[in-house]
Amino acid sequence: MAASNASYFASALLGRPVIDKLGQPLGVLHDLSMERGERLPYIAGLVVRKGQETSCIPWIAVDLFNAYVIAVDLERAPAEPFDPDGEGVILVRRDIMDKQIVDVEGARLVRVNDLKVEGCLDALCVTAVDTGVRGLARRLGQERLWGFVSGLFRKDLPHKEISWQFVQPLDDKVTSLSLTVSRDKLVDMHPADLAEIISQLPHEDAEKMLLSLDDETAGEALAEMEPEEGGRLLSRMEKERASDILEEMAPDEAADVLTELPDDEAQELLGLMDAEDAEKVQELLEHEEDTAGALMVNEFFALPPAMTAEEALGHIRSKALETELIYYVYVLGEDQRPLGVASLREILGAPPQATLGEIMSQSIKAVHTDSTADEALEMVEKYGLWAVPVLGEDGSLEGVITADDMLSHSLRDSNRRKRFRAKRSF
Amino acid sequence: MAAVLRKLSRRNILLFLSILGPGIITANVDNDAGGITTYSLAGARYGYGLLWMMLPTMAALVVVQEMCARMGAVTGKGLSDLIRERFGVGVTFYVMIALYLTNLGNTVSEFAGIAASLEIFGVSRFISVPLSAAAVWLLIVKGSYRIVEKVFLFACLIYLAYPLAAILAKPDWMEVARAAVVPDIRWDGGYVTMMIAMVGTTIAPWMQFYQQATVVEKGITREQYAFARLDVIVGCFLAIVVAFFIVASCAAAIHQQGLTVETAADAAQALAPAAGPYATLLFAVGLFNASLFAACVLPLSTAYYICEGMGWELGVDKSFREAPQFFGLFTLSIVLSALVIMVPDAPLLAIMYLSQVVNGAVLPAVLVLMLLIVNDRRIMGAFVNGPAFNAVSWFTVGVVTLLTLILTADAVWPGFMELILPKG
């Protein structure tokens, strides 16, 4: 049929009578089947129900299509028996309406209350999903009532439509699951927001969503989750992929997640990881919870005292992206014990040929791997540090605790409470 | 034998312990103010007469709760999520309204429990109820529910007093055992109402939502499902054991002594054999604990289910502006419930009891939706109900619906029940 460019809401169409050329009723419109188009999906057929029987009428048979009546010419294309389990069949009511989608702007999960279809060229395309209160009221057939009530409060019923261009199913094969926005949109989200959304999703969708992200984004999101939950997701994932994601995470964050897994499973994942990354994580895993050793990261700058400021800057520049803490350079003797520390500011301000030994400050404040987290925190506070170095039993430098890790550790109880409440509190 | 031992490996036991919880917590919240009151009245009024209901009720409870745990484990979604996705917004909207109203009734009964228990200590309800309402609200918005939950669950050990009291009251155990298995159906309005109230309080509509939500929240998957099933069975068993002994001790200590129960303080007599002069105190503390816990759980969880089903923003960490429906819903429940209780001379015991009857009336609707979902292969895959399970659950729905219809008919046309009852 020659479709106009009128737009309809699916809720207004579903349940309308469908008649044939002679005006004989064929049943009511039960559902609309859609197919992926080049840019937007289009309506491919009408699922018509009469009594207990359901049939599918191809779109080309449609003569007249509006919110009052739907007329079809069955001579042009006959009705076919409808197979609900057919491969690749996507039904508007069954598979899309009422499902959850991610609202990227608001960084939250919302439900599809209604679907907007618009005539474009000679097809009817799905253009937007309605997630607002107005869509809800419309579905319930109470748009005027709700509008009247909110009018009493001098407010309009809020519209909220998300264009279909941003909507994309998580999984190409299965149709019946939460939809989400296209992947590149997800990658742009802040990892903390992403983590919150993932933790609200049903577990299979959470897994699919995590799998749809690249390793780096997945790692960032996983690090923002409660370790317990991250561990759960990771242990259900394919081992190869899980180890790839772990490699992308900071060693201390990876260690946090791995502690939540059974020993054999954690070891298996470590075995699959890149040897160097695995070793860093393994070291951290050996320390008891809440000690300086468990909190530290083992990526830091340790340079010899004879290196010049210029060389040191070159070194920092080349490794800056893979090192968590770049503000301090620890100057180590041959026995790996720290001789002193130089801040980036001091190095930048020093003459290029000055050696680190000359620039560094010798009074170095450090804790031991088995010191408590509180001792390290006191040091950060007392000396105004960005990080505290952690020494092993033999006095060699094992790692550093950054002030922000410290902060999140000391705020952990309240943070945990908050994050837990973010999900559920009963 | 070897296979059994292999299953009992350390790893499996640890796994079970880590999954343990949702069923037991649900069962404990189930014995709330309305529950304690209903069971006490059942024992006080009809002696051992209603004990026979415990076994079939437990079977029904296990069947119903098991389905919820299974749906949660297989789909990872809450019950209101599934209702919305399977039946659309229309059904969800009206189910949510019904659920809100019944849970409001339950919350009222929790505040009635708070008022009644503190009045035993001589605290006026005009002081205790507003203070508790404020405390509950603050606990939800500012507090940590995890800690609160542990305290309340620990305090549930008070329930142990009931078996003790029942034993010390020296009932005729042969009589108790006989009453527990031989049905004694009496066709009078009070008795049938009590039967429905017992089913309603033991299998309350909110429990299905709650059970499924806790399973989902614990992250239990279909692989760990066998353990979740065990947890449900253990939880239901514990709930029924507690209920059984409340009925039995009230029967022995109140009914057989020919006493009547008019106020909450009267119901404390049941504990006299075990606690002697401290019976009233023990009863009051137990009732207060159960009421306050449930008064936190119900408004909050109701708000969650509704917002989840309707797709509204939810979470206690959000601001009122971000999640207005969520905050509005639970604040409204707490405020309305507290206000009802403060109406002068509100009959507390009657309110607690009535809310259980309402539960019994809404339950069939929820059960029917659940059964349709749990039998939907698109949703449950291979985990759909087997024929035996379906038979038992449809039977449960049928019985509860029938009982409710009879009760409602009798309320509308008094004498209806006598009309359909067999003479004699």
Chosen from A174, A226, A423, A425 to mutate, greatest number of chain B CBs within 10 A: A425
Chain A positions in Cβ-Cβ contact with residue B213 (cut-off 8 Å): 424, 426
Closest residue on chain A to B299 (Cα): A426
Closest residue by Cα to residue B107 from B296, B377, B374, B255: B296
Mean per-residue pLDDT for B226-250? 89
pLDDT in tens, A372-419: 888 888 888 888 888 899 888 888 888 888 888 887 777 765 555 455
Residues with Cβ within 8 Å of residue A32, at least 6 apart in sequence? A10, A13, A14, A43, A45, A46, A47, A91, A92, A93, A117
Residue A61's pLDDT is what? 85
Residue B16's pLDDT is what? 61
Closest residue by Cα to residue A93 from A16, A6, A158: A16
Interface of A with B (CB under 8 A): 93, 97-100, 106, 108-113, 131, 136, 139-140, 176, 201-206, 229, 232, 236, 262, 417-426
Helix axes A251-259, A275-285, angle to 10 degrees: 60
Considering only A262-276, B47-61, B112-126, which range has the smallest mean pLDDT? A262-276
Residue B1's pLDDT is what? 47
Chain A positions in Cβ-Cβ contact with residue B97 (cut-off 8 Å): none
Of A108, A110, A229, the CB nearest to B219: A229
The CATH 3.10.580.10 portion of chain A extends over 301-409
Choose between B115 and B259: higher pLDDT: B115
Helix axes B279-310, B79-120, angle to 10 degrees: 150
Closest residue by Cα to residue A138 from A14, A9, A32, A7: A9
Cα gap B77→A200, rounded to integer Å: 10
Contact B219 A203 (CB under 8 A): yes
What are phi and psi for residue A142, nearest 5 degrees?
Answer: -125, 30
Residues with Cβ within 8 Å of residue B126, at least 6 apart in sequence? B342
Percent of chain A with pLDDT over 90: 3
Residue B11's pLDDT is what? 60
Contact A424 B90 (CB under 8 A): no
Residue B15's pLDDT is what? 59
pLDDT at A1 exceeding the cut of 80: no
Beta strands in B29-140 (DSSP E): none
What are the angstrom distances between the C-alpha of B29 and each of A90, A158, B195, B203, B390?
42, 38, 20, 12, 27
Residue A180's pLDDT is what? 58
Residues with Cβ within 8 Å of residue B239, at least 6 apart in sequence? B27, B28, B30, B31, B61, B202
pLDDT at B4 exceeding the cut of 60: no
The H-or-E segment that residue B82 falls in is helix B79-120
pLDDT confidence band for A425 (50 / 70 / 90): low
pLDDT at A294 exceeding the cut of 90: no
pLDDT in tens, B30-74: 888 888 888 988 999 998 989 999 998 898 889 889 999 999 999
The H-or-E segment that residue B388 falls in is helix B387-412
Of B85, B221, B310, the CB nearest to A136: B310
Chain B positions in Cβ-Cβ contact with residue A203 (cut-off 8 Å): 76, 219, 221
pLDDT confidence band for B107 (50 / 70 / 90): very high
Homologous superfamily in CATH for domain A7-166: PRC-barrel domain (2.30.30.240)
Closest residue on chain A to B93 (Cα): A140
Chain A positions in Cβ-Cβ contact with residue B76 (cut-off 8 Å): 201-206
What are the angstrom distances between the C-alpha of B415 and each of B43, B194, B401?
25, 17, 20
Cα gap B107→B345, rounded to integer Å: 18
Closest residue by Cα to residue B110 from B304, B359, B351: B351
Mean per-residue pLDDT for A150-176? 72
- Classified as helix, coil or strand, A167 is strand
pLDDT in tens, A192-206: 888 888 888 888 788
User: Which of the residue ranges A21-25, A380-384, B127-131, B412-416 has the most confident prediction, judged by mean pLDDT?
Assistant: B127-131
Mean per-residue pLDDT for B334-342? 91
Choose between A386 and B424: higher pLDDT: A386
- Our CA-based measurement puts residue A137 at a distance from the nearest CA of chain B, in whole angstroms, of 10
Closest residue by Cα to residue B269 from B278, B32, B198, B45: B278
- The amino acid that residue A152 corresponds to is L
pLDDT confidence band for A174 (50 / 70 / 90): very low
Contact B88 A97 (CB under 8 A): yes
Percent of chain A with pLDDT over 70: 91
Cα gap A132→A130, rounded to integer Å: 6
Closest residue on chain B to A423 (Cα): B315
Residue B299's pLDDT is what? 92
Closest residue on chain A to B141 (Cα): A421
Closest residue on chain A to B312 (Cα): A110
The CATH 2.30.30.240 portion of chain A extends over 7-166
CATH no. of B19-420: 1.20.1740.10
Chain B positions in Cβ-Cβ contact with residue A176 (cut-off 8 Å): 378
Chain A positions in Cβ-Cβ contact with residue B297 (cut-off 8 Å): 426
Contact B213 A426 (CB under 8 A): yes
Of B11, B75, B140, the CB nearest to A202: B75
pLDDT at A423 exceeding the cut of 60: no
pLDDT confidence band for B328 (50 / 70 / 90): very high
pLDDT confidence band for B134 (50 / 70 / 90): very high
pLDDT at A145 exceeding the cut of 80: yes
Mean per-residue pLDDT for B4-17? 59
Cβ contacts below 8 Å, chain A against chain B, sum to 80
- Determine contact, residues A408/A415, Cβ cutoff 8 Å: yes
Mean per-residue pLDDT for B309-315? 84
Residue B348's pLDDT is what? 67
Chain B positions in Cβ-Cβ contact with residue A206 (cut-off 8 Å): 76
Of A205, A422, A426, the CB nearest to B297: A426
Contact B84 A421 (CB under 8 A): no
Residue A103's pLDDT is what? 76
Mean per-residue pLDDT for B134-160? 79
Considering only A241-250, A401-410, B117-126, which range has the smallest mean pLDDT? A401-410
Mean per-residue pLDDT for B335-353? 80
Residue A286's pLDDT is what? 77
Contact A176 B317 (CB under 8 A): no
Residue A151's pLDDT is what? 85
Contact A422 B317 (CB under 8 A): yes
- Which CATH number is correct for A301-409, 3.10.580.10, 3.40.228.10, 3.40.50.2300, 3.10.105.10? 3.10.580.10
CATH no. of A187-286: 1.25.60.10
Residue A233's pLDDT is what? 87
User: Which of the residue ranges A415-424, B89-98, B278-287, B349-358 has the most confident prediction, judged by mean pLDDT?
Assistant: B89-98
Tally helices (H) and strands (E) across chain B: 21, 0
Of B89, B145, B378, the CB nearest to A136: B89
pLDDT confidence band for A422 (50 / 70 / 90): very low
Choose between B113 and A184: higher pLDDT: B113
Residue A65's pLDDT is what? 81
Closest residue by Cα to residue A369 from A340, A341, A389, A339: A389
Residue B423's pLDDT is what? 47
Chosen from A90, A97, A98 to mutate, greatest number of chain B CBs within 10 A: A98
Closest residue on chain B to A203 (Cα): B76
Residue A319's pLDDT is what? 87
Residue B87's pLDDT is what? 92
Give the domain ranges of chain B. 19-420
pLDDT at A130 exceeding the cut of 90: no
Percent of chain B with pLDDT over 70: 88
Cα gap A229→A234, rounded to integer Å: 9
Count Cβ atoms within 10 A of the Cβ of residue B151 and give its class: 0-12 exposed, 13-18 middle, 19 or more buried: exposed
Helix axes B161-168, B225-250, angle to 10 degrees: 40
Mean per-residue pLDDT for B259-263? 78
Contact A426 B210 (CB under 8 A): yes
Residue A383's pLDDT is what? 87
Tally helices (H) and strands (E) across chain A: 19, 22
User: Which of the residue ranges A89-93, A156-160, A274-278, A343-347 has the most confident prediction, judged by mean pLDDT?
Assistant: A343-347
Give the pair of three-digit tokens for residue B364: 């069939």
pLDDT in tens, B368-420: 999 999 999 888 888 988 898 899 888 888 887 787 777 767 766 766 766 76
pLDDT confidence band for B93 (50 / 70 / 90): very high
- Determine contact, residues A291/A370, Cβ cutoff 8 Å: yes
pLDDT confidence band for B329 (50 / 70 / 90): very high
